[in-house]
């Protein structure tokens, strides 16, 4: 449903488009995902004889919201609605037509620095790279990334009424827009390779393919949310916390009228507050960590020591939910969801020290938002040969404070290399941009050196705060298994946990063989969600290694054969 947000108003005349034979009202600036969600049309694609899928990640990574727009495959969360569009749910398999458009030859571009990702890290890097030729690309139609996500182009914004997160992002975006950096929005990077002393990146976008050759590359692609596989997790209306926040903050649309928020971490508490402030009923907040108390006072004090403002903000958010009567269920997890054509109810249970679950408690809902933590988007860094290692429950890129990797002209800034939050991403983005300036120019000015020193201190502060934060939100009990053998492990290709376990029991224990036997990892998300789940099963009780992961091969994102051919042309 559509909601009102402070400082953000819909502008321009409304219009309609068609979806599955229905007239859908929309407003300028809304994505197809936002317009369809507000109209109650949650089933957007088909993944079996009668299984429907809807918005899941909200950031273009999973492909679950793929629809046919005027006959062409598009991700509903990445495409703006337009008058007269004819949109159809995506069938399980699409038959190519002979009149498919032929992509023009790739445009050839060159620069000192290419930045992939226009979130906090990418924007900060572009702002710092003064005096260089800079290109910054991002899949979204508007920069900001997941943290600084901004309303669509059709919204009227009153800057003085925006919250601090909106305002900070808008200011940084305006600074980069006013700089000489070339921002290419709506553009995906689907291949990256080293060519001598340069990096060559193939991209696709609304203006056609482009091949970008850069002396230096900063990867600032951020993170995706970890999957939480359980019975019913593929139902329309079940989505990540980030997807729900994107609908809300970018489209002023709530994922539902009665929403359950579950998982682990502060983003869930922030989303619950934002939904509550928008007039949405929050059925409960289900948090895997225990209720904050004296036993974890040290973590809270560490947070306050590094950033008292953010620590106080968290306390206020919890107090706001409590005053509103929202049930706060600590040491609980969501264990299954049910519904016919979409989610209708969810069941939660308390976790016990032995790893078992207590009695289930059900909630009648029309949306379930799950935030179970994050995992870096590191496939491009892996493809370029950057070294990775197991850190904090995920494969992270080995890098210096300024983001420099084992491949000297490749930098990874922000959560795309390892999790640290928005403050760390901003500091590391600036440090990466300054490091590239120093490489190209042979050094930094006195002012830039002072800026670098200040950002290194900011990075220490951000890391200290994050360490305390995740100590506070650390689950007290082992994570219980909530999936069954029939639960889908690979959402795209319909591969179940039982299918994989049977192969493991038979001695098939490498990702490539399992992929060939089941098609696991060969769907629209290209292993972003099933890959880590499979890697954890292959690793068992030990840390995940690169041998447990799928080999990183282009295309990193789905694209048409015509685009692939155009990019492959010499």
Distance CA 10, CA 25 (A): 13
Contact 134, 126 (CB under 8 A): yes
Distances (CA, A) of 470 to 177, 270, 483: 34, 15, 25
Q: Tell me the three state secondary structure of residue 167.
A: helix
**One domain, residues 115 and 213:** yes
Please give the residue range of the domain that contains residue 62.
8-89
Tokens of 306: 């590094």
**One domain, residues 251 and 368:** yes
**One domain, residues 314 and 194:** no
CATH code for position 68:
3.10.20.440
What does pTM read for this prediction? 0.94
Q: By percentage, how much of the chain surpasses pLDDT 70?
A: 96
Boundary residue ending a domain (470, 487, 512): 470
pLDDT band at 96 (very low <50, low <70, confident <90, very high): very low
Distances (CA, A) of 194 to 114, 197, 408, 442: 13, 7, 11, 22
DSSP code of 552?
A: -
pLDDT average, residue stretch 370-389: 94
Q: Where are the beta strands (DSSP E) in 55-187?
A: 66-69, 72-75, 86-89, 107-116, 134-138, 155-157, 182-185
pLDDT given at position 50:
62
Q: Would residue 290 count as lying in a domain?
A: yes
**One domain, residues 365 and 383:** no
pLDDT given at position 320:
95
- Average model confidence (pLDDT) across the chain: 92
Distance CA 187, CA 207 (A): 9
pLDDT given at position 1:
87
pLDDT average, residue stretch 398-417: 97
pLDDT given at position 446:
97
pLDDT given at position 338:
97
**One domain, residues 39 and 23:** yes
pLDDT value at 100 more than 60 = no
pLDDT band at 240 (very low <50, low <70, confident <90, very high): very high
pLDDT band at 49 (very low <50, low <70, confident <90, very high): low
Cβ neighbours of residue 122 closer than 8 Å, sequence gap 6 or more: 115, 116, 136, 138, 143, 145, 218, 220, 413, 414, 429
DSSP code of 546?
A: G
Tokens of 1: 């449903």
pLDDT band at 296 (very low <50, low <70, confident <90, very high): confident
Distances (CA, A) of 538 to 503, 505, 532, 543: 11, 11, 10, 10
Phi, psi at residue 425, to the nearest 5°?
-65, -40
Question: Based on C-alpha coordinates, what's the Rg of the chain?
Answer: 23
pLDDT given at position 511:
94
Contact 218, 403 (CB under 8 A): yes
For residues 381 and 157, which has the higher predicted lDDT (pLDDT)? 381
Q: Tell me the three state secondary structure of residue 223.
A: strand
Distance CA 561, CA 323 (A): 55
Q: Would residue 499 count as lying in a domain?
A: no
Number of domains within the chain: 3
**One domain, residues 249 and 364:** yes
Q: Which residue has the tokens 């042309």?
A: 569
pLDDT band at 94 (very low <50, low <70, confident <90, very high): low
pLDDT given at position 98:
43
**One domain, residues 366 and 379:** no
pLDDT average, residue stretch 357-371: 97
3-state secondary structure 497-539: HHHHHHHHHCCCCCHHHHHHHHCCCCCCCCCCCHHHHHHHHHH
**One domain, residues 149 and 37:** no
Phi, psi at residue 261, to the nearest 5°?
-115, 125
Boundary residue ending a domain (423, 447, 470): 470
Q: Which residue has the tokens 């694209």?
A: 559
pLDDT average, residue stretch 449-473: 95
Closest listed residue to residue 261, CA positions, set 202, 356, 388, 346: 346
Between strands 15-19 and 22-26, the pairing is antiparallel
Distance CA 120, CA 149 (A): 10
Residue 28: is the preceding peptide bond cis (ω within 30°)?
no
CATH code for position 348:
3.50.50.60
pLDDT band at 90 (very low <50, low <70, confident <90, very high): confident
Encode pLDDT of 138-155 as tens digits: 999 889 999 998 887 788
């Amino acid at each position: 449903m559509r909601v009102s947000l402070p400082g953000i108003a819909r502008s321009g005349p409304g219009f309609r488009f068609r979806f599955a034979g229905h007239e859908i009202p929309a407003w300028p600036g809304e994505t197809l995902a936002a317009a369809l969600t507000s109209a109650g049309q949650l089933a957007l694609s088909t993944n079996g004889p009668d299984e429907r899928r809807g918005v899941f990640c909200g950031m273009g990574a999973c492909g679950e919201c793929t629809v046919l727009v005027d006959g062409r495959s598009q991700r509903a969360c990445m495409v703006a609605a337009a008058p007269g569009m004819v949109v159809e749910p995506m069938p399980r398999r699409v038959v190519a037509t002979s009149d498919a458009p032929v992509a023009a030859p790739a445009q050839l571009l060159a620069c000192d620095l290419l930045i992939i990702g226009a979130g906090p890290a990418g924007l900060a890097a572009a702002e710092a790279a003064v005096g260089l030729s800079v290109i910054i690309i991002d899949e979204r139609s508007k920069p900001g990334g997941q943290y600084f996500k901004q309303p669509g182009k059709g919204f009227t914004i009153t800057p003085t009424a925006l919250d601090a997160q909106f305002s900070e992002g808008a200011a940084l975006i305006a600074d980069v827009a006013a700089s000489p950096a070339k921002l290419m929005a709506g553009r995906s990077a689907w291949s990256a390779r080293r060519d001598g002393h340069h990096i060559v990146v193939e991209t696709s976008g609304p203006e056609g393919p482009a091949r970008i050759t850069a002396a230096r590359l900063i990867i600032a692609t951020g993170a995706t949310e970890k999957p939480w596989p359980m019975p019913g997790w593929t139902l329309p209306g079940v989505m990540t916390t980030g997807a729900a926040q994107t609908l809300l903050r970018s489209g002023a649309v709530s994922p539902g009228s009665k929403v359950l928020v579950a998982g682990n971490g502060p983003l869930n508490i922030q989303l619950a507050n934002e939904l509550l402030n928008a007039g949405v009923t929050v059925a409960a907040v289900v948090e895997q960590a225990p209720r904050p108390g004296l036993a974890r006072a040290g973590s809270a004090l560490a947070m306050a020591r590094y950033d008292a403002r953010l620590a106080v903000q968290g306390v206020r958010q919890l107090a706001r939910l409590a005053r509103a009567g929202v049930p706060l269920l600590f040491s609980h997890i969501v264990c299954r969801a049910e519904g016919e054509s979409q989610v209708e109810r969810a069941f939660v249970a308390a976790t016990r020290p032995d790893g078992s679950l207590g009695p289930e408690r059900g909630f009648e809902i029309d949306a379930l938002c799950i935030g179970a933590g994050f995992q870096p988007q590191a496939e491009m860094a892996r493809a370029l040969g950057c070294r990775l290692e197991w850190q904090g429950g995920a494969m992270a890129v080995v890098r210096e404070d300024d983001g420099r990797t084992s491949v000297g002209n490749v930098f990874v800034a922000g959560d795309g290399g390892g999790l640290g939050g928005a403050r760390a991403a901003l500091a590391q983005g600036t440090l990466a941009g300054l490091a590239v300036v120093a490489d190209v120019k042979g050094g930094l000015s006195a002012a830039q050196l002072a800026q670098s020193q200040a950002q290194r201190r900011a990075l220490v502060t951000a890391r200290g705060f994050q360490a305390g934060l995740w100590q506070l939100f650390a689950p007290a009990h082992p994570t219980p298994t909530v999936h069954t053998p029939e639960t889908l492990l690979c959402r795209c290709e319909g591969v179940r946990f039982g299918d994989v376990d049977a192969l493991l029991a038979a001695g098939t224990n490498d990702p490539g063989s399992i992929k060939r036997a089941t098609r696991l990892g060969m769907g629209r998300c290209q292993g972003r969600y099933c890959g880590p789940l499979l890697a954890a099963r292959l690793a068992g009780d030990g840390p995940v290694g690169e041998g447990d992961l799928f080999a990183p091969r282009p295309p990193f994102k789905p694209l048409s054969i015509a685009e692939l051919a155009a990019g492959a042309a010499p």
